[in-house]
Chain A
Amino acid sequence: MTELTDLGVAGIRDGVRDGSFTAREVADAFIVKVSQAKALNAFLVETPEHAIAAATAADTAREAGETLKPLAGVPIGMKDLFCTKGVATTAASHILEGFTPTYESTVSQNLWDAGAGMLGKLNMDQFAMGSSNETSAFGNVISPWKRNDGGNASLAPGGSSGGSSSAVAARLCPGATGTDTGGSIRQPAAFTGISGIKPTYGRCSRWGTIAFASSLDQAGPMARDVKDCAILLEAMAGFDAKDGTSLQLDVPKWEAGLSANLNGLRVGIPKEYRVDGMPEEIEALWQQGIDWLKDAGATIVEVSLPHTKYALPAYYIIAPAEASSNLARYDGVRYGIRDLPTGAGLQDMYAATRADGFGPEVKRRIMIGTYVLSAGFYDAYYTQAQKVRTLIARDFEKAWETCDVLLTPTAPSAAFALGEKSADPIAMYLNDVFTVPSSLAGLPAMSVPGGLDKQGLPLGLQIIGKPLDEQGVLNAGLAIEQRAGFTARPEAWW
Chain B
Amino acid sequence: MSVDTATVKRIASLARIAITDEDAARMAPELGNILGWIEMLGEVDTTGVEPMTAVIPNTLRLRDDVVNADPLTGGNIREQVLANAPVAEHGFFAVPKVIE
Contacts and interface: CB of A to CB of B under 8 A. Distances in A.
Interface string B52-65: 11111010110100
A314 B49 CA distance: 15
Interface in B7-40: 8, 11-19, 27, 30-31, 33-35, 37-40
Contacts of A310: 40-41, 44
A334 B51 contact: no
Tell me which of B14, B40, B53 has the highest count of chain A C-beta atoms within 10 A of its own C-beta: B14
B86 A244 contact: no
B41 A346 contact: no
Nearest to B98: A346
A390 B50 contact: yes
Interface string B66-88: 00001011000100110111110
B86 A316 contact: no
Contacts of A328: 16
A281 B65 CA distance: 59
B52 A393 contact: yes
B56 A442 contact: yes
A247 B60 CA distance: 10
A337 B86 contact: yes
Contacts of B49: 387, 390-391
Given A202-B56, A390-B49, A391-B46, A366 B17 contact: yes
A340 B86 CA distance: 11
**B contact residues, range:** 35 or more
A441 B97 CA distance: 46
A388 B86 contact: no
Nearest to B36: A426
B96 interface: yes
A43 interface: no
A241 interface: yes
Contacts, number: 166
A317 B31 CA distance: 12
B93 A371 contact: no
B6 to A, nearest CB: 13
Given A366-B15, A384-B46, A242 B73 contact: yes
A201 interface: yes
A100 B8 CA distance: 34
Given A103-B72, A384-B42, A425-B30, A241 B96 contact: no
Contacts of A314: 38, 41
A316 B33 CA distance: 12
A244 B60 contact: yes
A403 to B, nearest CB: 20
Given A368-B35, A381-B38, A241 B86 contact: no
Given A352-B18, A364-B30, A368-B31, A99 B84 contact: yes
A336 B84 contact: yes
A106 to B, nearest CB: 9
B52 A367 contact: no
Contact of A202 (B58, B85, B93, B97): B58
Contacts of A391: 44, 46, 49
Given A349-B95, A389-B52, 15 more contacts: A241-B61, A242-B72, A310-B40, A310-B41, A314-B38, A338-B86, A340-B96, A354-B17, A364-B34, A371-B35, A384-B42, A384-B46, A425-B33, A426-B33, A426-B34
| A-B residue pairs, 9 tightest by C-beta | A442-B55, A386-B51, A338-B86, A355-B18, A387-B46, A335-B84, A351-B18, A102-B80, A313-B38
17 contacts: A101-B84, A215-B55, A241-B70, A316-B37, A316-B38, A317-B41, A331-B16, A333-B85, A338-B87, A346-B98, A354-B15, A354-B18, A370-B15, A374-B11, A387-B51, A389-B52, A442-B56
